[in-house]
Every structure is written in structure tokens, then in C-alpha cells.
Chain A
Amino acid sequence: MLRTIRVGLAALAVSLAASGGAMAETIRFGAILPLTGPGAVVGTQEQRGIQFAIDEANAKGGILGNKIEVLFEDNQAKPDQSVLSFNKLVDLQHVPMIFTGYSGPTLAMAPLATRKKVLMVNAGAQSDKLATASPYLFNTLPTTGDEVSVMAKYLVAEGKKNAAVLFENDAAGIGGRDDFRDSFVKAGGKILAEEPSQFGQTDYRPALLKLAAAKPDVMYVVITAGMLPLAQQAKQLGLNFTVAGTSFFSDPDTIADPASSGFIHTQVQISAPPALAAAFKQKYNADMEFFAKQYYNAATIILTALEKVLKDKKPVSGENLRQAIFDVRKFQGLIPMEFKTNTASVALDINVMRDGKDNVLKEMKSQ
């Protein structure tokens, strides 16, 4: 029976190696994203963003003639699956770079990335711990802390000094709440009430009712999914305070719905040119949403870095890619972006939703 296992494992290793060795001319990268389970909402968007950028580059003949391929691994947003996937991609496929998302899995892989000198690029998760988790981890989004403090200062300056917080009861939401607590109080505001919602659960009424009872001037919202039901329920309950939030707000269906009128949020300036968005829509029959744009953008950054590494005739390794990012420093993808540290400094707007559109109120910058 032990023998069966051994034979099975050998077969596994052989088949994996075979699938790896088929095309020698291509440069392979990895991506470890939640493609099943509740996290897949975001994960599949991210996957499409990357794949679209790669297909586009390959259609133009690749990077200096080299075709690019991205190997996708499903981690179900779980840390142990992520570590397995990481080792699989690095050991068996020798990928020098891996796209990740989600705070927990990324934090679990960070020590491995440091040890094995594999570049990781995160364009989705915003936990503050990611900024310092590994020298090989790059974040193309500002951390929640940076983004939240921009909004906190703005709100206090507008005279909205009493806030209630609605947060998702997971890493992203709790991180956002803690950051808001810090920066809002520091800016001179006061937090009257806090209430969580469960990820993937869309009945916000009890929480909204409780928060409304505290009579705040503004409700700060940190949730990653379920914006539209939130907007509709807030409208039905006739809430009369401002609703404010982060980039997570920019969900096209929510913006288009009249219920979201008057919502304000910080927005990482990222927009796809119409031709790109149309091509994306035609390919996937889905809009190019926030995370798709982010990962498309992240992929273009990596491709730029790759081009530099290849031009310098250096081997494509995690170390060289990392150095290339710092050498290039300023990137013009979908948004201008600068890497002074591992976390990008980007332009940040404050937007207001009105008449089915997202309009810029004020332009700011992260960090």
C-alpha cells in the first residue's frame, strides 16, 4: 500500500514535469489566487486581468520574442493550499514571479518568497502588514492605512466629525476598521458605533439600523462584496447620513443604481481606455472591473520589468525582476505608479456617485 502511494506520487511528479517541459521558449510566471469558494468572486476577476494582459503581449509577439505564460493555481483563499501551490510553482516550474491576492495567503507565502528569492506581486490585498512582510513582495495598491487616512482627513475637514463604521468581519474589513479608528480620531473625529457584517452575507439591515440609531454624520464602510444590496437597503431604510468608503465601492452595478447616489469613496485612480475595456468585455462577456484592471496593470508592470531584465541580458530571476522594478521605478500602466518602497505610491481620488456615474470630487495622493 505504501508502494501504491509512492508509485502514485512518482506518476504525479512525472506528469507535472512533462507538462512543464513541453515548451522551452516560453517564460513562465505563476499566479496563486482563490478561484473557487467565496473568494472566487474577486479571484476570477484577477485571473482575467492577468490573462488578458499576457494574451495581449503574446499577440504582439511576446517580450523581445519570448512568449509569456502564466500558470494559475487555486488556493481557495487558504494559507496551506497557498504554500503548497507556491512550492509547486517554484520547485516544479521554476517560476521567478508569482501574482497573489488576499492578505492571509500572501502573508503565509511571504517568508518562503524571502527565502527562495521569488518575486510576489499583490494587486488586490491591502492589509498593512503586507507593506513589510517580505522584500520580495510588491504591492501595487496602497495599503488600507494609506487609503483610509486620506478619507478620514477629508471627512473631518468637511465637518463630518461623528462616524459609524460598518466593516466586513475578515482581514480586509477589520484592518480597514482599525485604520479608520486610528486616523479618524487622530484627525479630530469621533467614532460613535461599529458593526460587522459577515463576508458573503447580504442582509445589512440589522447592522444599518443599529448604526443609524447612533445618529452619525457619516457611515464609513469597509466591505469587499455585496455593495449593491447594501446601497439598496440603506436607501430603503431612508438613512440620512453620508456613506463613505474605499476603492471597494467602485462596483459598476452599484454605481449605476440610483440607490448609491451621494456615496463618496476614495478611489485608486485606475481606468481602462475604452478600447481595452471593450476588448475585455468581448473576450470574457464581463465588464473589466476594479480587480481585473488592477491585475492587468500589475501584469504590465511585470512585463516592463521583464523587458528590462531581458535587455540587460540577465537571467530572469526573482532577484533581477525585483531590481528591475526599482530601476524602472516609474510605471505608466493604467495609472502612473512609482515604487519608492515595495508599496506603490499612486494617485488617489475622492469620488462621489451621482446619476449612475462615479465623479471625481478631489484629487489626492497616497503616502
Chain B
Amino acid sequence: MDFLYSYLVLAEIYVLLGLSTNLLVGIVGIFSVSQAAVFGVGAYIVAACTMSDTLSFIPALVLAAGCGVALNILITLPSLRVSGDYFVVTSFGIQLLATAIFTNWTDGTGGANGLPGIPPPDIFGLPVAETSEFLMLSTVALGLGCLCFWLAMRAPYGRLLRAIREDELAVAAAGKNVLFAKVSAAALAGAFAGSAGGLYGSFLSFVDPSSFDLDASILLLTMVVVGGARTLAGSVIGPFVLLALPQLLALVDIPTTIAAAARQSVYGLLLIAFMLFRPQGLAGEKL
């Protein structure tokens, strides 16, 4: 049953990331394509701390979340200056810069070779080595994440964030603190992404830059869009569907020589079809 479990664990980790992306892109309207960078930083921090035995898993995860907060605030800063497509490109730039650092800072990240042999997490002395045990850990983390998200959205704070997306100027004119709202949303998103990274690294026991590149950021964005923007349900469904998609597509029988490319094309076609016929995703609101 480990296949199902590992699928669930990865999907849950991606749901945490999906919440992070949804908060930024869907709710506040900061179109970030660099969430994978924050995700990666979280993974590398937990890897470095637990491998060198400086911190055990839980404190390391907290540290990763904290760094995620700081980093996400830093990289969303340009969005206060530039808007729309300009920020998209800036964000692309940040993502590529992060990839360059992950790949080339050999002493810290293991470079392109990655870091193998990350120890499995231990919770107050209990090792979490089996996939089924890890599933419980990631489910708890996911539950906490969803709860945070749900509470934030129900509060007046959530309405403020939505209002900013609709009309930033009007919100500012009404005397609300737009800057604080944006920065705090970015911080929350950073905490989600950072801790998701920590879980990811410990689960795979291996990290390398290929998991945190531009493609990963775009995959995340796709998950949110397919699942549905701006809703909790959408953030949950998206990752589950998109991680299952390659497995489902593998069932379609195509000659082996062109199978792989054909499957990837189907994947692209699905994206186009969604955008044309159901832009609100499976369970979201209109983008």
C-alpha cells in the first residue's frame, strides 16, 4: 500500500504548497511564480539541520517555516513596486536566481548532486521511517495548514485580502492598511511553503535542485488553477488531481517510442481545455 501512501504524502505536501500559492496568487492577487524557491529553501534548511545533527526535526521545521516567512516577504516586496506582468517576470527572475544558488552553492546545498541521506524525522524521540507513519505526520501538518487558512479567510482579515485584490485603491482610501495586509499574507504563505519544503526533504531523504525549479513553480500554479482559485477545496483538489494525472495517463496505451511526449502533450491540452471551458477550476471561484 506504500504506493498509495507515498502518493498521499506527496499530494498533502503539495496541498500545503497549494495553500501558499493560492493565498498569494488567488486571494491577494500577487502573481508569484517563485514559490518553489521558498519550498526549496525550507527543504534545504531541514536537510542541513538534521543531517548535521544541529537541530532535531521539529525545531528544524520551525526554523524552515521562519525562513520561509522572511524570504517570502522579501521576494514579494517587488510586488509593492511593480504590478501585473512586470511582477511575473521579476518573479521568474527570482526563481531562476534561486535555482542558480541551489545548483552552484555546492558547500551549502550539495550543488547539482543534491543531498542524499537526509535522516527520517523523529518526533520527540520517535522515528518516523515508514511511509504509513509519515502519512500521519503530513496529515497533521496539512490539517494545521488548512485550519489556519480557513480561519484566516473567515476572519475580517480574509475579507480585507479579497477586497485588495478587487480594488486596492478603494481599500487604501477606506483607511485600511494595505501594506500590512499584503505583507502578512506573504508571511503566512511563506510559512506554508517553508514547512512543506521541510516535510518534502525528510520524506524523500534526498533533495536536489530539480525539485525546486521553474517547472515546479509552474506545476504549482497549475495545481491551484485546476483545483480552483481562492477556495480551500480548490487548493486541496488541485494537487491530488495533478499528481494522479500522470498515473492515469500512463494507462492510455500508446506506442512506446512516442508515448511519453504524447502524454505530456495531453497534459498541455488539458490545461488549455480547462482555461477555455472551466477557468474557475474544479472547485474554485472565477480567476
Does A touch B (CB under 8 Å) in the complex?
Answer: yes
Chain A residues close to B by CB (< 8 Å): 1, 5, 8-9, 12-13, 15-16, 19, 35-36, 40, 43-44, 47-48, 51, 72-74, 77-81, 83-84, 87-88, 90-92, 103-104, 107-108, 110-111, 127, 129, 133, 169-171, 173-175, 284
- Would you call B113 and A174 a contact (CB within 8 A)? yes
Residue of B nearest to A74 (CB): B260
A87 and B2 contact, Cβ closer than 8 Å, known pairs A74-B246, A78-B210, A169-B103: yes
- Would you call A87 and B6 a contact (CB within 8 A)? yes
User: How many Å lie between the Cα of A81 and that of B3 in the bound state?
Assistant: 12
- Would you call A91 and B3 a contact (CB within 8 A)? yes
Q: Which residues of B contact A90 (CB under 8 A)?
A: 2-3
Selected A-B contacts with CB under 8 Å, 19 pairs: A1-B233, A19-B251, A40-B260, A74-B246, A77-B210, A84-B6, A84-B247, A87-B7, A88-B247, A90-B2, A90-B3, A91-B4, A107-B116, A111-B205, A169-B103, A169-B112, A170-B103, A171-B111, A284-B257
- Would you call A127 and B237 a contact (CB within 8 A)? no
Tell me which of B248, B256, B260, B261 contacts A12 (CB under 8 A).
B248
Q: Which residues of A contact B204 (CB under 8 A)?
A: 79-80, 83, 108
User: How many Å lie between the Cα of A163 and that of B162 in the bound state?
Assistant: 60
- Would you call A84 and B263 a contact (CB within 8 A)? no
User: How many Å lie between the Cα of A221 and that of B104 in the bound state?
Assistant: 19
CB distance from A54 to the nearest CB of B (A): 11
A9 and B244 contact, Cβ closer than 8 Å, known pairs A1-B237, A104-B206, A174-B113: yes
Known: A80-B204, A84-B7, A169-B103. 14 other contacts (CB 8 A): A9-B244, A12-B244, A36-B263, A40-B260, A77-B210, A80-B10, A83-B10, A84-B243, A87-B7, A91-B2, A91-B4, A104-B210, A108-B208, A170-B112
User: How many Å lie between the Cα of A173 and that of B113 in the bound state?
Assistant: 9
CB distance from A290 to the nearest CB of B (A): 18
Q: Sort A-B residue pairs by CB-CB distance and give the 9 closest, nearest first.
A: A35-B260, A91-B3, A108-B206, A87-B3, A107-B116, A36-B260, A104-B208, A170-B112, A87-B6
B131 in the interface, Cβ–Cβ < 8 Å?
yes
CB distance from B216 to the nearest CB of A (A): 9
Q: Helix, strand, loop or mixed for chain B's interface?
A: helix
A174 and B211 contact, Cβ closer than 8 Å, known pairs A12-B244, A13-B4: no
Residue of A nearest to B260 (CB): A35
B274 in the interface, Cβ–Cβ < 8 Å?
no
CB distance from B122 to the nearest CB of A (A): 16
CB distance from B13 to the nearest CB of A (A): 9
B126 in the interface, Cβ–Cβ < 8 Å?
no
User: How many Å lie between the Cα of A44 and that of B240 in the bound state?
Assistant: 28
A5 and B6 contact, Cβ closer than 8 Å, known pairs A108-B206, A171-B114, A171-B208: no
User: How many Å lie between the Cα of A80 and that of B239 in the bound state?
Assistant: 14
A73 and B4 contact, Cβ closer than 8 Å, known pairs A36-B261, A129-B116, A171-B113: no
A84 and B113 contact, Cβ closer than 8 Å, known pairs A35-B259, A40-B260: no
User: How many Å lie between the Cα of A35 and that of B263 in the bound state?
Assistant: 10
- Would you call B112 and A72 a contact (CB within 8 A)? no
- Would you call A1 and B283 a contact (CB within 8 A)? yes
A133 and B116 contact, Cβ closer than 8 Å, known pairs A72-B256, A79-B208, A108-B206: yes
B192 in the interface, Cβ–Cβ < 8 Å?
no
- Would you call B250 and A73 a contact (CB within 8 A)? yes
Residue of B nearest to A172 (CB): B112
Q: Which residues of B contact A80 (CB under 8 A)?
A: 10, 200, 204, 211
User: How many Å lie between the Cα of A47 and that of B257 in the bound state?
Assistant: 9
CB distance from B222 to the nearest CB of A (A): 14
User: How many Å lie between the Cα of A43 and that of B260 in the bound state?
Assistant: 10
- Would you call B256 and A51 a contact (CB within 8 A)? yes
Residue interface mask B122-144, A partner, CB < 8 A = 1: 00000000010000000000000
User: How many Å lie between the Cα of A316 and that of B4 in the bound state?
Assistant: 24
B184 in the interface, Cβ–Cβ < 8 Å?
no
User: How many Å lie between the Cα of A175 and that of B256 in the bound state?
Assistant: 32
CB distance from A64 to the nearest CB of B (A): 26
Q: Which residues of A contact B104 (CB under 8 A)?
A: 169
CB neighbors of A among B211-267 (8 A): 211, 233, 237, 240, 243-244, 246-248, 250-251, 256-257, 259-261, 263-264
- Would you call A174 and B116 a contact (CB within 8 A)? no
- Would you call A84 and B10 a contact (CB within 8 A)? yes
B106 in the interface, Cβ–Cβ < 8 Å?
yes
B276 in the interface, Cβ–Cβ < 8 Å?
no
Q: Which residues of A contact B251 (CB under 8 A)?
A: 15-16, 19
Q: Which residues of B contact A81 (CB under 8 A)?
A: 246
B1 in the interface, Cβ–Cβ < 8 Å?
yes
Q: Which residues of B contact A36 (CB under 8 A)?
A: 260-261, 263-264
User: How many Å lie between the Cα of A133 and that of B244 in the bound state?
Assistant: 29
CB distance from B256 to the nearest CB of A (A): 7
Q: Which residues of B contact A35 (CB under 8 A)?
A: 259-260
Q: Which residues of A contact B259 (CB under 8 A)?
A: 35
Q: Which residues of B contact A78 (CB under 8 A)?
A: 210-211
User: How many Å lie between the Cα of A104 and that of B112 in the bound state?
Assistant: 8
- Would you call B113 and A127 a contact (CB within 8 A)? yes
- Would you call B103 and A110 a contact (CB within 8 A)? no
Residue of A nearest to B103 (CB): A169
- Would you call A91 and B1 a contact (CB within 8 A)? yes
Q: Which residues of B contact A1 (CB under 8 A)?
A: 233, 237, 283
User: How many Å lie between the Cα of A107 and that of B250 in the bound state?
Assistant: 24
Q: Which residues of A contact B5 (CB under 8 A)?
A: 87
CB distance from A295 to the nearest CB of B (A): 14
Residue of B nearest to A170 (CB): B112
Of the listed residues B10, B114, B208, B210, the one surrounded by the most CB atoms of chain A closer than 10 A to its CB is B210
- Would you call A108 and B263 a contact (CB within 8 A)? no
- Would you call A9 and B114 a contact (CB within 8 A)? no
